[in-house]
Structures are given as C-alpha cells and as structure tokens.
Amino acid sequence: MPLSLAKMRRQYTLDGLDEAQAPDDPMVLFGLWMQQARDTESPPVEANSMALATVDEQGQPHCRVLLLKGFGPDGFVFFGNYDSLKGQDLAVNPRAAMTFFWPGLERQVRIEGPVHKLAPALSDAYFESRSVASRLGAWASPQSQPLADRAVLETLLTQTEQRFAGQSVPRPAHWGGYCLRPERLEFWQGRADRLHDRLDYRLQDGAWQRTRLAP
C-alpha cells in the first residue's frame, strides 16, 4: 500500500509568541530558546542540530544537518572540512542559511547572513577539545570525495593512526571553523490550526527591526 503523507499533521498546542514579551535583540531570544531546547528536548534530538544551506557557483542550493558549536554577538559558529562541497560552496558564495527545529517546543528559527572563517587559533582550540578518534577522522576522510567502498576509508584511517602514533594530532589546514554573522532571524512558534506566530528580525543600519509575518 503506498505511503500517504497528505494527512500527516499535528495540532500545535503550546503558548504563542507575543511581541510584547519578545526582546529587541534577537540573539537574546535565540539564547533563551536554545536553553529551553537543551532543557526539554530528549534524545535522539540534539538541541544544537541545524540544517545548513549553501549555494554553489551554478546557483544550486545544497542543504545538510550540522551541529552548532557556539553563538554570541559575533554570530553562529560551526566547523567542518574546508575542502568539502560545503566548504567549496562557501568559498565561492560566502553566504548561508541555517534552520533549527525543536519539535518538542513546536518551534523553529531561521537565520541568514554572510559567513567567514574563524581565526586559526579559535579553530585550533576547538579541534583540541575533540576526541582523538574524531581528530584522526578529520585527517583521514577526504570529505565529499568519491570512495570505491568502505574499506578505502578504513585503510585511510589506519594509515592516519600509524602516522600519528604516539604523538598529538594537530588540526589539519583543511579543517576549521566558520561563523555566520546574522542579518536576519525569524522565530516561528507553532499555533493551532496553522495560524502560527512568526517574528522576523532584520539588521538595518546596525539596528534590529522586528516585524510580525503572516503564517
């Protein structure tokens, strides 16, 4: 029997998002929502998981799920392989969009803006916080490149383990951090009967302007 998706829906029941209770700074609201997601979402949901969209030189968009590793006044931080398809996209078109979805809270946040690489020292510090196995994997995997089979990857890992046996594993030059500096954030709160709340923040002349959008 064919799988039917047309009638798959849920009724949202939690409290709405009121402008009177929303801060003027969207980073404050994001921090509040992220903390609430960390406190309430249950595994396998990771509160810091996000969909990251980039665009290649042909104008083709690409989207994948990553983990946010930090945020603050400067923007939103994530890490990866600079030579991957994601890295290639950002090299030719250094703008991106990210979306967080927290189903338990019936919320999502959309963020858009330019992206730049982190300073090497910041990438080094994060890389050193990762497990040795993860550091070895960053060296071993030619991310986004074709592989004949799984055995090729395992051979590359074995060779990398032998290369760094008995010594510290430094950050490879092709791996590091990015920071998305937000120019737009949209906060979405599910409401009954699809009449959702949407608050849209846009950076204009150095100040955030907030607008309610129709669902």
**Is 69 annotated among the ligand-binding residues?**
yes
User: Is pLDDT of 2 > 70?
Assistant: no
At 1, the pLDDT band (50, 70, 90 cuts) reads low
Is 194 known as a binding-site position?
Answer: yes
Pinpoint the alpha helices (H) of 60-209: 85-92, 120-129, 132-140, 150-163
Question: Which structural domains are found in the chain, ordered by start?
Answer: 19-131+169-212 (2.30.110.10)
pLDDT at residue number 110: 98
82 is in an annotated binding site: no
CB atoms under 10 Å from CB of 136, counted, come to 19
Output the pTM of the full model.
0.92
The reply to whether 66 sits in an annotated binding site is: yes
Whether the CB-CB separation of 14 and 106 falls below 8 Å is answered with yes
pLDDT digits (tens, 9 = 90+) for 70-86: 999 999 999 999 999 99
Which residue among 194, 202, 210, 212 is the active-site one?
A: 194
Structure tokens, 94: 């250094």
Digit-coded pLDDT (tens) for 106-139: 999 999 999 999 999 999 999 999 999 999 999 9
Active site residue 194: yes
**Count of beta carbons in the 10 Å neighbourhood of residue 114:** 15
Q: What is the mean pLDDT of the chain?
A: 94
Residue 215, both tokens: 């669902």
Determine the pLDDT at residue 42: 76
